[in-house]
């Protein structure tokens, strides 16, 4: 899997707010005198390109399914980005996601909540279960 770098094109029309987070004392429930963070979030547009090199159809379909689910969670703000902490450094909200596989295009519109190529996408997601079931069956033998 290769991911290209992306530059965030700043949205000059959005308001900028500093976010201050306090640090709580786990023992007393009180707060410390200093801020835990003092961040200015970046808001704008970015495009990410991810390239997956195929090797084996069974594994490829499973990998594409896993990448699709991970990117969906990232694009619907269900996963924080950066930092290994609970809070993370931010979230992404995607407008759309496209998967191209040998000329076939799957297009997911997060705003309209629609999917073009739903059947093909479902085969990738189903292959995760099939792959996992085969691994479990081989353990039992």
Tokens standing for residue 43: 């808001």
Do 83 and 95 belong to one domain?
yes
79 falls in which pLDDT band (50, 70, 90)? confident
Structural domain that includes position 59:
53-141
Residue with the larger pLDDT of the pair 136 and 104: 104
The chain-wide mean pLDDT, for the chain, equals: 81
Count of CA atoms in the C-beta half-sphere (13 A) of 123:
10
Convert the pLDDT of each residue in 24-56 to its tens digit. 777 777 776 665 566 666 777 888 888 999 988
Do 39 and 61 belong to one domain?
no
Q: Round the CA-based radius of gyration of the chain to a whole number and report it.
A: 20
Do 108 and 88 belong to one domain?
yes
- Note if the pTM is more than 0.75: no
Average pLDDT over residues 100-121: 93
Residue 76 per-residue DSSP state? B
Do 113 and 133 belong to one domain?
yes
**How many domains does the chain divide into?**
2
Do 81 and 59 belong to one domain?
yes
| H/E stretch holding 59 | helix 57-75
Residue 22 has pLDDT above 60, yes or no: yes
Do 92 and 129 belong to one domain?
yes
Q: Which of 8, 71, 81, 93 is nearest to 45 (CA)?
A: 8
């Amino acid at each position: 899997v290769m991911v290209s770098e992306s530059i965030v094109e700043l949205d000059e029309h959005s308001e900028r707010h500093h976010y201050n987070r306090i640090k709580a004392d786990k023992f007393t429930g009180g707060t410390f005198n200093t801020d835990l963070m003092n961040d200015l979030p970046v808001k704008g547009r970015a495009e990410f390109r991810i390239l997956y090199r195929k090797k084996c159809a069974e594994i490829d379909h499973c990998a594409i399914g896993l990448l699709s689910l991970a990117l969906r969670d990232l694009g619907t703000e269900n996963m924080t980005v950066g930092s290994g902490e609970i809070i993370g450094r931010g979230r992404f909200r995607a407008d759309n996601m496209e998967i191209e596989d040998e000329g076939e295009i799957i297009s997911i519109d997060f705003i309209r909540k629609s999917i073009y190529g739903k059947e093909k996408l479902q085969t990738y997601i189903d292959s995760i279960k099939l792959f996992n079931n085969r691994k479990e069956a081989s353990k039992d033998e």
